[in-house]
C-alpha cells in the first residue's frame, strides 16, 4: 500500500508491505496490498480502452473474444476488493461515519468524472452532426436527435439516466459506492451474512427483473442490483474470504473444473466468430446457455470470471517476482490510478476512433493508435504518482494515517 | 467534399489535403473512363464471400411457391436504412434493387417486392404490424431489417429479443419464410451507437428460429475493409449510397437463391 509517508516508488513500497505481511498472521485484509490487484486492474483498463475503439483489430487480443466474461468483471471485482481493503481499514480505525463519508466523497468524484466524460461526448457528437451528411447513413444520424432538445437530455444525463454508449461503467460505480457503507459494515461484522444478502439480491433481481430506468427507454446497461454481486464478492474476499477459500482455490479438482469450463467457453466463443462452427454446437446446449446476459451479469459470466481467477491464482502467486519488475510496472501503475486512467482511456478511445475516421482506417494506424493510447495511459499514471509524491512531501499535506483514496475502490 | 468515385483499393491510407487531391484526381480519371466504358458494366466489385452468406437455414416455403406457382412476393419490413431519400431514392434503394436482381436471375418467376419502411420504429413497433402485413400483402417471404433504431434508443436487449421472436413467430405460424437483416456498418457513428448486443441478439434469434440472417453489418464491413467502398466518406454522396444499396439488393438475391435452392431456375449471371 502506498501512503504519503512512504514516497518511494510504488513497486518498492508494495514489496515492503507485502514482506511485512508474513510476519503478521491471520487476515490478509489487515496486511499489505496485493500487487496482483493493481496488475489486473491495470490490465482491465488497457483491455477496456482497446475494446472501446470500434473496428480495432488489436482488440482481438482482449479476453472477451475467448470466453464469456470480459474486462468489466475483472474491474468490478478488483474494485470491490480494493474498496473493502482501504475503507474497511478506515472503518475499523476511525469508525463508520468517517469511512462512510469518504466512500461518499469517492462516489462524488466519480460523478464529476462521468459528467466530464459526457462533455467530451457532446463535443464529439456535435462535431459529427455538423460534418457528416452521407445520405447512406440518414438513419444513423437520428442519433443526433437528442441535440434538438438539450434541455431534456442534459438533465437526464446529470440524473444518470441518459448514458451514451461506453459510458455505463462509471454510473454503475457510483451506485455501488453509494450502497457500500452499510454493506462494508455488515461485511466486517457478519461477512457470510453480507455475502448471502448480496446473493439474495442478485437472485431476486433475476426473479423480479429489478433494474434502474434509463432515458429515453430501457434500463441500465450494467444493472447495479446484479453487478453488486461481483463487487461484494470482491469485498468479501478482501476481508478474509479469500483466506477461507484458499483450500478450495488451491485444490487440483477446482483447477481441473476451471480449466474445463474455460475450454468450454472458448469453444462456444469460437462459434461466434467462425461461421460454420455454430452447427457443431448442439442446439440443446444453445438452448441452455443463450442469451448470455451482460446486463444482469449472467451466471455463466460470473462463473467464467471465477474460473479465470482460479487459474490466475495458480500461475501468479502473490509474491511472484514478476510483480516487482519494471515489466509489470506499466500495468501496476495504471491499476493504482484507476479512475483517472479509466476516464483517460474513454477519451483516448474516442480520439483513436476519430483518428481512424479522419486519417486512415489502415491496420498500421490501428496498431499505432492502440499502442500510443496505452503509452499515454502509462505516462499519465506515472505522472499522477509523481504528483502524489510531491503532495505527500509538501507542507500542510494530509495526515499520515490517511490511506490513499486512489488505491481505493473507485475507479471505473 | 469527397469525390464521388473511389479507387477500389486502399482508399483510406493517406492523410490530409494531399490525399484528397490525389483521390480527386484519380476519381476524376476513373469517372471519365467509366463514362466511356459504361457498357462494360460491373466497374465495382462488391462480391460477398461465401462464409458471410451461407447460413444453413433453408427457405422452404419460397422454394415450394417458386417451383409450383412461379411467383414470389417479398415484403421488406424495416426502418430508415431500407430506404433512400430523394426522387431517385425508391428505385435505387435495396428493395427495388433486389427485385431487379431476382427478375434478372429468375426470369421465369413473377417476382414482386413490396416495402413497408417506416423511420424511427423499433423492432417491437414493427413486430406488432406483422399480422396486418400478412393480410395486406400476403407475402411468401418477409425480409425484416431491424436493430438500428433499437440500438440508438438503447432498448433493453431482452425486450428487443422478445420483439424479434414475436414477429418471427407470427410470420412462421402463417407459413411465411423470414430473413432477418441487421444494421449497416457505419464507421463514423461506431462510438455513438453500440450495435454489438443487438447484432448478437439478432444472430441468436436467427439461429434459434432457424431463419437466415443477412449479416449486413459484417458484409458492409468487409466491403469497407477490402476497399470496395469508402464508407467513411462524409459528403453528400448519392452515388455511393446507390451503389451500396444495389450491392445489398444483389446480395440478398444471392442469399434467397441459395437458401431456397433455386440454382436450377436461375440465369447464369455473375453474382
| CATH of segment(s) B51-259 | 3.40.50.1110
Higher pLDDT, A182 or A121: A182
The reply to whether A14 falls in a domain is: yes
Tell if the CB–CB gap between B241 and A136 is shorter than 8 Å.
Answer: yes
pLDDT confidence of residue B247: 93
pLDDT band at residue B40, thresholds of 50, 70 and 90?
very low
Q: Tell me the mean pLDDT in the region B106-126.
A: 90
Range of the domain at A31: 10-407
- List pLDDT tens digits, range A233-278: 999 999 988 888 888 888 899 999 999 999 999 999 888 777 677 7
Asked if residue A194 lies in contact with residue A186, where contact means CB atoms within 8 angstroms, the answer is: yes
For residue A166, the chain B residues in CB contact (below 8 A) are 191, 194
Residue B31's pLDDT band, with cuts at 50, 70 and 90, is: very low
Tell me what the pLDDT averaged over chain A comes to. 84
Q: Which three cell numbers stand for residue A75?
A: 474491474
Name the residue with higher pLDDT: A12 or B180: B180
A3 falls within a domain: no
**Pairing of β B71-78 and β B213-214:** unpaired
CA distance readout (Å), B192 to A165, B173, B196: 6, 37, 12
* pLDDT attached to residue A393: 54
Using pLDDT thresholds of 50, 70 and 90, give the confidence band for residue A199. Answer: very high
Q: Which of A319, A304, A314 has its CA nearest to residue A251?
A: A314
Could you give the count of Cα atoms lying within 13 Å of A48 in the half-sphere of its Cβ?
A: 31
pLDDT digits (tens, 9 = 90+) for B138-156: 999 999 999 999 998 888 8
Where in chain B are all domains bearing CATH 3.40.50.1110?
Answer: 51-259
User: How many angstroms separate the CA atoms of B246 and B95, rounded?
Assistant: 9
Q: Is the pLDDT confidence value at B211 over 80?
A: yes
For the residues A353-364, what does the mean pLDDT come to? 83
**Is the model more confident about A296 or about A402?**
A296
Cell of B192: 455513438
Q: How many residues does chain A have?
A: 412
What pLDDT score does A401 carry?
46
Q: Where are the alpha helices (DSSP H) in A60-95?
A: 71-94
Q: Which of A127, A134, A143, A274 best probes binding to B when mutated, by most B CB atoms within 10 angstroms?
A: A134
Report chain B's mean pLDDT, rounded to a whole number.
Answer: 80
Say how many domains are in chain A: 1
**pLDDT, tens only, A313-328:** 888 888 888 888 889 9
- A214 vs A184 pLDDT, higher one: A184
Helices (H), B37-147: 50-53, 60-69, 89-92, 94-105, 123-128, 130-137
CB-nearest partner of A275 from B51, B119, B244: B51
The count of C-alpha atoms lying within 13 angstroms of the C-alpha of A327, restricted to the half-sphere facing its C-beta, is 4
Binning pLDDT at 50, 70 and 90, where does residue A27 land? very low
Cβ-based neighbours of A371, under 8 Å, separated by 6 or more: none
CB contact under 8 A, B184 and A52: no
Q: State the nearest Cα–Cα gap between B105 and chain A, in angstroms.
A: 26
- State mean pLDDT over A43-67: 88
Q: Which pLDDT band, with edges at 50, 70 and 90, does A188 fall under?
A: very high
pLDDT at A216 over 90: no
Name which of A52, A137, A283 is nearest B186 (Cβ-Cβ). Answer: A137
State residue A107's pLDDT score: 96
Number of other residues whose CB lies within 10 A of the CB of residue A109: 18
Sequence-distant (≥ 6) Cβ neighbours of residue A87 within 8 angstroms:
A99, A102, A103, A180, A184, A408, A409
Q: Would A412 be classed as within a structural domain?
A: no
| Distances, alpha carbon A185 to alpha carbons A98, A173, A176, A401, A410, in Å | 12, 18, 14, 20, 18
Half-sphere exposure (Cβ direction) of A69: Cα atoms closer than 13 Å: 25
Q: What number is the average pLDDT over the span A159-188? A: 93
Q: Classify residue A2: in a domain, yes or no.
A: no
Unique residue bearing C-alpha cell 478482501 = A238
Q: How far is CA B29 from CA B3, B26, B34, B259, in A?
A: 11, 5, 9, 40
pLDDT for position A1: 37
Query: Across B110-114, B154-158, B203-207, which has the greatest mean pLDDT?
Result: B110-114
Closest partner CB to B192 (pick from A125, A217, A294) = A125
Mean of pLDDT values over B35-54 = 63
Burial class of residue A255, CB neighbours in 10 A (0-12, 13-18, 19+): middle
The grid coordinates of residue B128 equal 406488432
What is the mean predicted confidence (pLDDT) over A223-239? Answer: 96
Residue of B nearest to A281 (CA): B207
Q: Which of the 8 DSSP states describes residue A213?
A: B
A118-165: pLDDT as tens digits:
998 888 888 877 777 888 888 888 888 777 888 888 899 999 998 887
Confidence of residue B267 (pLDDT cuts 50, 70, 90): low
- The minimum CA-CA distance between A291 and chain B, rounded to whole Å, is 8
- Residue with the bigger pLDDT between A403 and A249: it is A249
- Global pTM reads 0.78
pLDDT per residue as tens digits for the range A62-106: 888 889 999 999 999 999 999 999 999 999 999 999 999 999 999
For residue B178, the model assigns a pLDDT of 94
Residues 24-83 of B with CB under 8 A from A: 51-52, 54, 56, 79-81
Domain-embedded: residue A182: yes
Determine the average pLDDT of the residues in A16-32: 37
Q: Tell whether the model's pLDDT for residue A176 goes beyond 80.
A: yes
Q: What is the pLDDT of residue B233?
A: 80
Q: Give the distance from CA B83 to its chain's centroid.
A: 10
pLDDT of residue A32: 63
Amino acid at each position: 500500500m502506498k501512503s504519503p509517508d512512504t514516497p518511494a516508488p510504488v513497486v518498492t513500497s508494495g514489496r515492503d508491505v507485502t514482506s511485512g505481511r508474513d510476519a503478521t498472521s491471520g487476515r490478509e485484509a489487515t496486511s499489505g496490498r496485493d500487487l496482483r490487484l493493481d496488475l489486473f486492474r491495470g490490465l482491465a483498463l488497457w483491455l477496456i480502452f482497446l475494446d472501446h475503439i470500434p473496428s480495432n483489430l488489436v482488440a482481438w487480443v482482449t479476453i472477451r473474444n475467448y470466453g464469456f466474461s470480459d474486462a468489466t468483471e475483472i474491474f468490478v471485482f478488483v474494485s470491490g476488493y480494493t474498496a473493502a481493503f482501504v475503507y474497511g481499514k478506515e472503518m475499523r480505525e476511525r469508525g463508520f461515519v468517517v469511512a462512510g463519508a469518504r466512500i461518499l466523497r469517492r462516489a462524488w468524484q466519480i460523478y464529476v468524472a462521468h459528467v466530464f466524460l459526457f462533455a467530451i461526448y457532446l463535443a464529439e457528437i456535435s462535431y459529427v452532426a455538423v460534418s457528416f451528411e452521407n445520405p447512406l447513413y440518414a438513419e444513423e444520424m437520428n442519433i443526433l436527435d437528442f441535440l434538438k432538445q438539450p434541455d431534456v437530455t442534459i438533465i437526464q444525463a446529470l440524473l444518470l439516466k441518459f448514458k451514451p454508449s461506453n459510458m455505463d461503467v462509471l454510473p454503475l460505480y457510483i451506485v455501488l459506492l453509494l450502497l457500500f457503507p452499510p454493506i462494508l459494515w455488515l461485511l466486517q461484522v457478519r461477512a457470510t451474512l453480507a455475502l448471502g444478502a448480496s446473493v439474495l439480491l442478485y437472485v431476486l433481481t433475476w426473479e423480479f427483473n429489478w433494474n434502474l430506468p434509463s432515458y429515453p427507454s430501457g434500463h441500465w446497461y450494467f444493472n447495479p442490483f446484479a453487478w453488486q454481486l461481483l463487487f461484494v464478492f470482491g469485498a468479501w474476499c478482501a476481508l478474509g474470504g479469500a483466506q477461507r477459500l484458499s483450500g478450495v482455490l488451491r485444490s487440483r479438482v477446482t483447477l481441473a473444473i476451471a480449466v474445463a469450463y474455460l475450454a468450454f467457453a472458448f469453444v462456444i466463443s469460437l462459434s461466434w466468430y467462425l461461421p460454420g462452427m455454430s452447427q457443431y454446437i448442439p442446439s440443446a446446449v444453445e438452448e441452455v446457455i443463450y442469451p448470455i446476459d451482460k446486463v444482469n451479469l449472467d451466471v455463466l459470466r460470473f462463473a467464467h470470471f471465477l474460473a479465470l481467477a482460479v487459474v490466475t491464482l495458480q500461475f501468479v502467486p502473490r509474491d511472484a517476482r514478476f510483480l516487482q519488475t519494471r515489466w509489470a510496472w506499466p500495468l501496476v501503475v495504471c491499476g493504482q490510478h484507476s479512475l483517472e486512467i479509466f476516464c483517460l482511456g474513454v477519451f483516448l478511445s474516442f480520439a483513436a476512433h476519430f483518428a481512424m475516421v479522419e486519417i486512415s482506417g489502415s491496420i498500421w494506424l490501428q496498431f499505432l493508435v492502440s499502442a500510443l493510447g496505452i503509452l499515454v495511459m502509462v505516462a499519465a499514471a506515472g505522472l499522477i504518482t509523481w504528483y502524489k509524491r510531491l503532495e505527500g512531501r509538501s507542507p500542510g499535506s494530509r495526515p499520515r494515517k490517511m490511506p490513499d483514496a486512489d488505491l481505493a475502490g473507485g475507479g471505473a | 467534399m469527397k469525390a464521388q468515385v473511389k479507387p477500389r483499393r486502399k482508399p483510406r491510407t493517406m492523410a490530409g489535403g494531399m490525399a484528397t487531391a490525389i483521390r480527386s484526381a484519380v476519381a476524376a480519371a476513373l469517372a471519365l473512363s467509366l463514362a466511356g466504358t459504361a457498357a462494360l458494366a460491373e466497374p465495382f466489385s462488391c462480391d460477398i464471400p461465401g462464409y458471410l452468406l451461407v447460413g444453413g437455414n433453408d427457405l422452404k416455403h419460397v422454394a415450394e411457391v417458386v417451383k409450383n406457382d412461379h411467383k414470389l412476393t417479398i415484403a421488406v419490413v424495416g426502418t430508415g436504412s431500407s430506404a433512400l431519400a430523394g426522387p431517385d431514392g425508391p428505385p435505387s434503394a435495396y428493395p427495388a434493387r433486389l427485385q431487379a436482381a431476382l427478375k434478372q436471375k429468375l426470369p421465369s418467376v413473377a417476382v414482386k417486392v413490396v416495402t413497408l419502411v417506416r423511420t424511427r420504429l423499433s423492432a417491437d413497433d414493427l413486430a406488432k404490424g406483422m399480422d396486418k402485413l400478412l393480410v395486406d400483402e400476403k407475402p411468401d417471404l418477409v425480409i425484416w431489417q431491424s436493430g438500428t433504431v433499437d440500438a440508438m434508443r438503447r432498448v433493453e436487449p431482452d425486450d428487443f429479443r422478445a420483439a424479434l421472436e414475436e414477429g418471427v413467430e407470427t410470420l412462421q405460424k402463417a407459413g411465411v419464410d423470414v430473413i432477418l437483416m441487421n444494421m449497416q456498418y457505419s464507421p463514423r457513428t461506431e462510438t455513438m451507437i453500440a450495435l454489438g448486443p443487438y447484432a448478437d441478439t439478432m444472430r441468436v434469434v436467427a439461429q434459434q428460429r432457424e431463419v437466415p440472417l443477412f449479416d449486413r453489418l459484417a458484409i458492409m464491413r468487409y466491403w469497407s475493409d477490402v476497399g470496395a467502398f469508402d464508407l467513411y466518406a462524409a459528403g453528400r454522396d448519392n452515388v455511393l449510397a446507390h451503389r451500396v444499396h444495389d450491392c445489398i439488393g444483389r446480395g440478398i438475391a444471392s442469399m434467397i437463391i441459395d437458401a431456397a435452392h433455386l440454382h436450377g431456375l436461375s440465369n447464369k449471371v455473375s453474382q
